[in-house]
Amino acid sequence: MPRRALLVTVLALGATAYACGARTPLQGGPVSDVFDAGDDPRGPPPRAEGGTGSVVDAGPPRDSGTDAEPPADVPDADVPDADVPDAGRPSNIVSLTAGGEHNCALSGDGRAWCWGSNVVAQLGDGKTIDRASATEVAGLGTATAIGAYDLFSCAVVADPAGGNHVACWGCAVDQRLGSVPADPDPPYGTAPVTVPGLSGVLGLSQGSTAAHACAITSPSLYCWGSNRWNQLARGSPSDAEGPGPASGGSDTHAAAGAWTETCTVDVRGYLACSGDPYRNGQRMPTALLTAVSGVEDARAVGTGLEFGCVLLADGRVACWGGDDEGQLGGGTPSPGSAVRSVQGLSNVANLAVGAKHACAATYEGKVLCWGRNHDGQLGNGARANATEPVEALIDDVVEIAAGNSHTCARRASGSVACWGANLHGQLGNGTFDDSTLPVDVLGLP
């Protein structure tokens, strides 16, 4: 058996046993420094999307859009052939999200498309085979919003008679799908299932490390899934079937989840978090959404492994927490409990936070990233970590999303490109080779 095929087989066997099990977060460090958020009064901020990252295990045998095995012993390469069919062509993709090792996107006609790891059917195509190009989610209906999380995905779906509901697919452990038996067999759902008790949903939380999800409604935030660290903000860590209101989650404008916590931004720009942040130093564990000091003008929030970032109304980005790989973007690694500005960023329109890296897209269409870069997830053609933002080699970008060790961007044309780790095909370019430069996602409409 070729070496690459043997590696895939060994990893697949381990991932099958892993299924939707627990994961040990990485560790952070001590705290320091201060950030001044300013005193200017702000009106309700415009909606902006954030993203987070996650760590998941390897998946079963994969393909590049069919049920065949991937080619064996493909030489490593950072950039695929330039003449790949339909690479870089315009697309009608209007929204993008990243899970730990998979991504999903919405097209203008309300169809959903996913690619990457599919070990527990998180791509929604009815199979458990990794996909190195985009595949359509089957049986979903007309979607208006989408979110990708740790081993599962969800979408807001329009009802023919009016209104909407939320449907999820993938890992069913810890009530990720909203309403399933306590010990599901198999531990995943290959087709979208309706999350009960939700209506009038305006949007979904983002959070690739999260084993839970939240629906933004007016006026409450409803969350479901794992609650081991009080990330559902229900006052206790006990699991509960189905979604329930998050205490303190009123007038939510944007929300992000991580493996152990949930953070929200309300319409006034205030930041609040619940759960256990481990050693990111921002606050003590809490079972309710609790205000974070020093942030009064946020537009979006993203949470990674032991660190987080907010996009501020004046176009700056500020972060807090662990800084072992430069993920706070301050120039000199220095973990800190107080929120402080990322160096050299301004006029930011969109924020995405991965497991140990973060990216910002500016109103000019440029992307700047910082933090961990072992797999090329910063998109600058290198693999060295960056303690300050470096420019990814892509432009005309209107939306970004960050997974565990990869990043994706949607251009104004609707086409999508990704870069970084690609063991499960999460770059979507028809290969399973990492790329330190952006490569175009294939198979999108």
Q: Name the pLDDT band for 68 (thresholds 50, 70, 90).
A: very low
Q: Is the pLDDT of residue 15 over 80?
A: no
388-415 pLDDT, tens digit each? 999 999 999 999 999 999 999 999 999 9
Q: Is the pLDDT of residue 87 over 60?
A: no
Token code pair at residue 21: 């099990």
Q: What is the pLDDT of residue 281?
A: 61
Query: Phi and psi dihedrals of 151, rounded to 5?
Result: 75, 15
Q: What is the pLDDT of residue 238?
A: 78
**Among 364, 425, 417, which Cα is nearest to 88's?**
417
Kindly report the CATH number that applies to the domain delimited by 3-19+49-70+87-440: 2.130.10.30
Mean of pLDDT values over 199-217: 94
Q: Is the pLDDT of residue 29 over 90?
A: no
CA–CA dist 153, 115 (Å, integer):
11
Q: What is the pLDDT of residue 168?
A: 97
230-258 pLDDT, tens digit each? 999 999 887 767 899 999 888 999 999 99
Mean of pLDDT values over 113-124: 98
Q: Is the pLDDT of residue 8 over 90?
A: no
334-362 pLDDT, tens digit each? 877 778 899 999 999 999 999 999 999 99
97-112 pLDDT, tens digit each? 999 999 999 999 999 9
Query: What percentage of the chain reaches a pLDDT higher than 70?
Result: 78
Q: What is the pLDDT of residue 19?
A: 57
Q: Is the pLDDT of residue 438 over 70?
A: yes
Q: What is the pLDDT of residue 333?
A: 81
Distances (CA, A) of 285 to 39, 42, 203, 233, 277: 27, 29, 26, 11, 7
Q: What is the CA radius of gyration of the chain?
A: 20
119-143 pLDDT, tens digit each? 999 999 999 999 999 999 999 999 9
Who wins on pLDDT, 359 or 27? 359
SS3 331: coil
180-207 pLDDT, tens digit each? 776 788 899 999 999 999 989 999 999 9
Q: What is the pLDDT of residue 91?
A: 84
Q: Is the pLDDT of residue 301 over 60?
A: yes
Contacts of 107 by beta carbon, 8 Å cutoff, 6+ apart: 91, 92, 93, 94, 113, 444, 445
Domain ranges of the chain: 3-19+49-70+87-440
120 class by beta-carbon count within 10 Å (0-12 exposed, 13-18 middle, 19+ buried): buried
Q: Name the pLDDT band for 89 (thresholds 50, 70, 90).
A: low
CA–CA dist 55, 210 (Å, integer):
10
